[in-house]
Chain A
Amino acid sequence: MFRRFAISCFVALLTLPAAARTRPHYGGTLHVEIEGDPWQRPNGIARRLVFDGLTTLDTTGAVQSALASGWESDNADHRWQFRLRPGVYFHDGSLLTSTAVVQSLNLDCPANCPWATVHAVGSMVVFTNDSPMPNLPALLAGDDFLIALTVSADGKTSSGDIGTGPFQVTSFNNGLLVLGANETCWQGRPFADAIEIRVHRAVHDQWLDLSIGRAEMVEVPAEMIRQAQQQRLKVLVSPPAELLALEISDNGALANPMMRAAIAASIDRSALSNVIFQKQGEVTASLLPQSLTGFSFLFPVDRDLNKAHELRGGLTTPTLTLSVDGDGAMRLAAQRIALNLKEAGFNAQEGSDGGAQHADLMLRLIPLEGGEPFAVLEDVSRSVGQTVLLPDSSPTSLYRAERDFLDRHTLIPLVDLPRAYAAGARVRDLALDAHDLPDLASASLEDAP
């Protein structure tokens, strides 16, 4: 009996550390390195750590309450009112009010907003529009509509980096953004005491820092996911999160839709996906990924050079300017597209992003956020300054709306790409959220005190 008890005690002692490891620890500093700007729109890595939206998405893409505890629509979705969650404070201690929310939304969206007016009514934020806004809760979960304090309690203009999120800005010097845990966060305190984000760090340097333990989380571009996996890094890969698309100007030399259609038919998507993005993307000719709609396959993705020549009809254009929103694989993809276009009889010259405003062609990444296809379509079209008509919420209407949009040939979907991050061995419970960003608030450090 004693022997059995002793063995049981010994086994229990052995399992204690294991049990301790399974429980996340509070404390410690997470070191994150990124290549870009932490505040960039959309989806700068610091934005969702510092700011919250009125709504958010869960891991399935469904809309969940955030700063708004509830919402309802009137007048066939022409009017929406969002009820603010009580007891939420900004990082400076000021209470989240409907007025602060309205000010932030007006600052975030000065034009081309999903709504016509937004105003505060007590603890309610009311949106109105001439046309129905059936997807407004899902749209408000997007990165564009995160709530920041614009006017402080003493009436002065805020620095713009004060939110209600799990972390608050401590300092931002010499390329190092330091975020401290928000002890009074309405979602609860994050596990890490602080996050240090080193910005503008080359990917290879990030990986090197990860390998020597100077960083706990780094970026992995889509074209390097396979390489990261081969190097046995702990890689978090999202489902399709960004759409690589070619935006075509409908002015000047490309005012003729046949020419734009010829350009669309001349691009070899498989080369982009298989070679440049190392088979980490999914070729697509639709705006919405197959996983969202189920009918993406209806849009042909194959290159048809003969059709391109036929559509061009022997017409020639002056040298087209092709700008790129990004570096590395994006520039390579742009060069590849220029080569494809040359075969189809177009002379395109790839250039920097400086002339993007006047470029004939622009290769860009468009975020695909959320699990609501209608909202995603509306968001995508709005991101390129266009609108889609959705008479109802049926799949047929969605397909027709997307078809109509694509028939304009002003935006050519090419590849759906995932987002990926690599985490170090010390990081626990790091996962990607519904916005395909690392949920650092839920991550903890294994050796944290």
Chain B
Amino acid sequence: MSLRQRLLLLFSLTVAAAVAAVAWTVLVRIRHVFELRDQEETALFVSQFQREFQHRSAEVAAAVDHLAVSERARGMAFEIVQSGDASPYLTEAQTMAQDAQLDFLEIVGADGDVVSSAQWPARFGYPEPAVTGAGEAAFLKREELPDGNSALGLFAVRPIRGAEPALRLVGGKRLDQSFLADLPGAPGMQVGLYNERESSAGANNVSGVDTPPAFDPKQLVGTNGDVPSADRYQALIESALKTGKQVSGIVYLTARREDSATAIPLKNVAGRVMAVLIVALSREGMVEAQHHIRAIAYGVASGGILLAIACSLWIAARVSRPIEQLARAAEEVASGNWDVRVPEQGHDEVSVLARSFNHMTKQLASQREQLVQSERVAAWRELARRLAHELKNPLFPLQLTVENLVRARALSVEEFDEVFRESTATLGMEIANLKAIIGRFSDFSKMPKPELERIDAKDVVERVRSLYEGAASREAKIEFATEIAGEPMAMMVDPELLHRALSNLVLNAMDAMPNGGKLTVSARPQGANVDIKVADTGEGLTQEECERLFTPYYTTKLHGTGLGLAIVQSVVADHGGTIAVESRTGNGSTFIITLPIAKPGTPSREAAAPKSTRPSGSGDL
């Protein structure tokens, strides 16, 4: 990742994080404010409901009270007390309930048994437990009905005045859909009543343990009958049933609708929760406002982030451009172009760096020029030294021979002739020697350009082995071994030059083992390259020798020119490869030529250009 990208990423993340933090804070705060408002609104409606509930309780109590003091009830009570016969009033409760618009009414005798029941006329003679312990206030009671069901109602108990012992009236109103429909409402508000069914211990529970019945969505009725998505209120209702306390929460009815719901437990005289009143207020407006604000926040945040990215892009480009120029200039310097310069603008740290870089490259170029000149002088000196050294050896016999010839003029003709023949022979030989020395130097100065062909490393090794194996074993008692990998190792090389380089290494190895040994030539692929190794078991080389071995005119031999390995290195370098030596004194030496494997599709040897007319050969380069 480039510096510009890093800077861009850093700036963008920083700005995005800041924008997100601000947006989140705003949203949380807004949500909190809305929640508070919603809670206040819900609490207001709940208190209204509770007041309405109390009002209904008072209505029921008043209705029953009104009945209890009516002439009709008092006359009935008087008759029953006087005659002791309540049977004529079997249907009286139905009539009175109709008149008083009560859903439930029972006339209970002094003994606590039902005299007449509006809701279940057949219950006459059965005890009504609600009359015992009932106070003035209305209370909640579940009333069983003839059809096997039960209904929840608000009840009140009042004695019928004027008759002793007193009869009592137990009247009530049903808590059902019509009750819910009469409750004060608001747009978007939903009211439901969950009727807690009788626990299993009530009827046929064998264990006797009062286990609360499971939540039944059908028991939740609203003003229009069944409440849609009733199961969504399960948690609230169950909590209210369990704790007996008012519970509030948010109910997610659909993916797009949520309500603030409050579950109000309705308890009987004994404190048992008989039903749960659900007041659900739609949060549609609030949710829409929140969505609107959220959308705006997201829009602003997205715009801010995009703007921040654009600014970051500009800033990163402005900051990173001089550094990128410096980096490119440094790469140019590394590749050898020391004349590169970077613009020097401004007065900041980057411009100081640019000026320092330019100064540095200027200094480096100057020093390189000086070094080149120094090396050139040193090379000439070395060349002169070598030439002097090489030429001095043949010149000395030439000088002695010429001096012998001069001295031989005093000898007899026969002796002079003999000396003259010997001297001319010596002169010819030494002159030939001089020519050979000069030829070698000429060859080194005129290294041919490689003519590349696609050949296998195996073929190169095999060619060297076939050429030198016999001579090595026959003359120097050297065991010649080859180790070639099985897979193909195609290379694009000049076969003649590589053969000559490899031959030079083989001959050097044979020279390093005058008393015999083992010479191993191997070829193995090494990643994208081929390693060709020539290893001997001779005396080996010192560290210093290893370091100087490829320097021209350096030799460890008595009669070497020191150009052989330099030429080998030159050949290998011309093929894009490298050569190295691994050696320790006494353990032999290994020369490693590393050449790149030819890419597929490059022409093979047969398909290559016409073969070079250069003659093949071997020997010391």
A residues sitting closer than 8 Å to B (CB atoms) are 226-227, 268, 271, 274-276, 278-279, 316, 332-333, 335-336, 338-339, 349-350
Q: Please, what's the 1-or-0 string for B270-308, where 1 marks a CB less than 8 Å from any CB in chain A?
A: 000000000000000000000000000000000000000
Q: In the complex, A332 Cα to B118 Cα: how many Å? A: 12
Q: In the complex, are the beta carbons of A275 and B146 less than 8 A apart?
A: no
* Contact of A338 (CB < 8 Å), options: B90, B122, B124, B126: B122
Contacts of B86 in A (CB 8 A): 275
**B122 near A332 (CB under 8 angstroms)?**
yes
Complex A-B: 16 CB contacts under 8 Å: A227-B88, A274-B87, A275-B87, A275-B90, A275-B124, A276-B122, A278-B90, A316-B204, A332-B122, A335-B122, A335-B146, A336-B122, A339-B122, A339-B123, A339-B126, A349-B147
The yes or no answer to B394 lying at the interface (CB within 8 A) is no
Query: Nearest-CB distance from A327 to chain B (Å)?
Result: 13
Q: Across the interface, do B123 and A276 meet the contact criterion of CB distance under 8 Å?
A: no
- Tell me the complex Cα distance, A338–B148, Å: 10
Alpha-carbon gap, A39 to B146, bound state (A): 33
Closest to A349 in B: B148
Closest 5 pairs between A and B when the two form their complex, measured CB to CB: A335-B122, A336-B122, A275-B87, A335-B146, A332-B121
Q: For A338, what are the chain B residues with a Cβ–Cβ distance below 8 Å? A: 122, 146
Q: How far is the CB of B406 from chain A (nearest CB, A)?
A: 155
Expressed in whole angstroms, the minimum distance between the Cβ of A346 and any Cβ of chain B is 12
> Complex Cα distance A271/B90, Å?
11
Interface on B for A, CB 8 Å cutoff? 86-88, 90, 120-126, 146-148, 204
Q: Which A-chain residue is minimally distant from B116 (CB atoms)?
A: A275
Closest to B125 in A: A271
Other 11 A-B pairs with CB < 8 A, given A278-B88, A338-B146, A350-B146: A226-B88, A271-B124, A274-B87, A275-B86, A275-B90, A279-B87, A316-B204, A332-B90, A335-B120, A339-B126, A350-B147
What A residues does B148 contact at CB under 8 A?
349
CB contacts (< 8 Å) of A268 on chain B: these are 125
A316 to B204, CA, bound (A): 11
Q: How far is the CB of B89 from chain A (nearest CB, A)?
A: 10
- The CA of A336 and the CA of B88, in the complex, are separated in Å by 17
Are the C-beta atoms of A278 and B122 separated by less than 8 Å? Answer: no
CB distance from A309 to the nearest CB of B (A): 15
A333 to B121, CA, bound (A): 10
**CB proximity of A207 to chain B, nearest CB, Å:** 15
Query: Which residues of chain B are near A278, meaning CB under 8 Å?
Result: 87-88, 90
Which residues in A have their C-beta under 8 angstroms from that of B125? 268, 271, 275
Cα distance A226–B146 in the bound complex, in angstroms: 26
Q: In the bound complex, do residue A276 and residue B126 qualify as a contact, i.e. CB atoms below 8 Å apart?
A: no
Smallest distance from the beta carbon of A170 to chain B beta carbons, Å?
38
A275–B121 alpha-carbon span in the complex (Å): 11
Contacts of A275 in B (CB 8 A): 86-87, 90, 124-125
Interchain nearest-CB distance for A253 vs B (Å): 16
Q: How far is the CB of B457 from chain A (nearest CB, A)?
A: 98
* Residues on B with beta carbons closer than 8 Å to the beta carbon of A226: 88
Complex interface: chain A residues within 8 A of B90 (CB):
275-276, 278, 332
B378 to chain A, nearest CB (A): 122
* Distance A22 CA – B146 CA, assembled complex (angstroms): 53
- Complex alpha-carbon distance, A336 and B117, angstroms: 12
Most interface-central of A271, A336, A338 (chain B CB within 10 A): A336
In the assembled complex, the Cα of A349 lies from the Cα of B121 at a distance in Å of 15
| Interfacial chain A residues near B124, Cβ < 8 Å | 271, 275
- A291 to nearest B CB, angstroms? 24
Q: Bound state CA distance, A226 and B90, in angstroms? A: 13
Bound form: Cα–Cα A274–B126 in Å: 15
User: Which residue of the partner chain B has the closest CB to A223?
Assistant: B90
Instruction: Note all chain B residues with C-beta closer than 8 A to A336.
Output: 122
How many whole Å from B202's CB to the nearest CB in chain A?
13
Q: Please, which residue of chain B has its CB at the minimum distance from the CB of A348?
A: B148
* Complex Cα gap A274–B375 (Å): 144
CA distance A271 to B113 in the complex (A): 13
Asked if residues A335 and B121 are in contact (CB atoms below 8 Å), the reply is yes
User: Which residue of the partner chain A has the closest CB to B120?
Assistant: A335
In the bound complex, how far is the Cα of B121 from the Cα of A336, in angstroms? 8
Complex Cα distance A274/B204, Å? 32
A65 CB to closest chain B CB (Å) equals: 44
Measured in the bound complex, the distance between the Cα atoms of B124 and A338 in whole Å is 13
Could you tell me the distance between the alpha carbons of A333 and B146 in the complex, rounded to whole angstroms? 12
- Which of B86, B120, B121, B204 counts the most A-chain CB atoms under 10 A from its CB? B121
In the bound assembly, the distance between CA atoms of A278 and B87 in angstroms comes to 6
User: What residues on B are CB-neighbors of A316 within 8 Å?
Assistant: 204
Complex Cα distance, B291 from A258, in Å, reads: 72
A335's nearest neighbour on chain B, judged by CB, is: B122
Please give, as numbers and ranges, the residues of chain A lying within 8 Å of B204 by CB-CB distance. Answer: 316
Nearest chain B CB to A113's CB is how many angstroms away? 38
Whole-angstrom distance between the alpha carbons of A344 and B120 in the complex? 19
Question: Across the interface, which residues of B come within 8 angstroms of A271, CB to CB?
Answer: 124-125
How many whole Å from B453's CB to the nearest CB in chain A?
A: 104
Alpha-carbon separation in the docked complex, A335 to B121 (Å): 8
How many angstroms from the CA of A226 to the CA of B37 in the assembled complex?
Answer: 67
Closest B residue to A319 by beta carbon equals B148
Considering only CB atoms, which chain A residue lies closest to B121 in the complex? A332
Shortest CB-to-CB span from A269 to chain B, Å, is 13
Residues of B within 8 A of A279 (CB): 87
- A338→B122 CA distance, assembly (Å): 9
* Chain A residues with CB below 8 A from B122, complex form: 276, 332-333, 335-336, 338-339
B147 cross-chain contacts in A, Cβ below 8 A: 349-350
Residues of B with C-beta under 8 A to A339:
122-123, 126
Min distance, Cβ A5 to any Cβ of chain B, angstroms: 58
The chain A residue sitting closest to B204, CB to CB, is A316
Residue among A268, A274, A275, A276 with the most chain B CB within 10 A?
Answer: A275
CA A442 – CA B505 in complex, angstroms? 159
Shortest Cβ gap from A320 to chain B (Å): 12
Tell me the bound Cα distance from A70 to B295 in angstroms: 106
Complex CA distance for A101 and B168, rounded to whole angstroms:
63
A332 contact set on B, CB distance < 8 A: 90, 121-122
Q: In the complex, what residue of chain A is closest to B123 when comparing beta carbons?
A: A339
**Chain A nearest CB: distance from B183 CB in Å?**
33
Q: Give, as a whole number of angstroms, the nearest-CB distance from A405 to chain B.
A: 28
Complex alpha-carbon distance, A276 and B88, angstroms: 9
In the complex, how many angstroms separate the beta carbon of B218 from the nearest chain A beta carbon?
19
Most A CB contacts (10 A, CB to CB) among B86, B122, B148 go to B122
How far apart are the CA atoms of A345 and B558 in the complex, in Å? 132
* Nearest B-chain residue to A268, judged by Cβ: B125
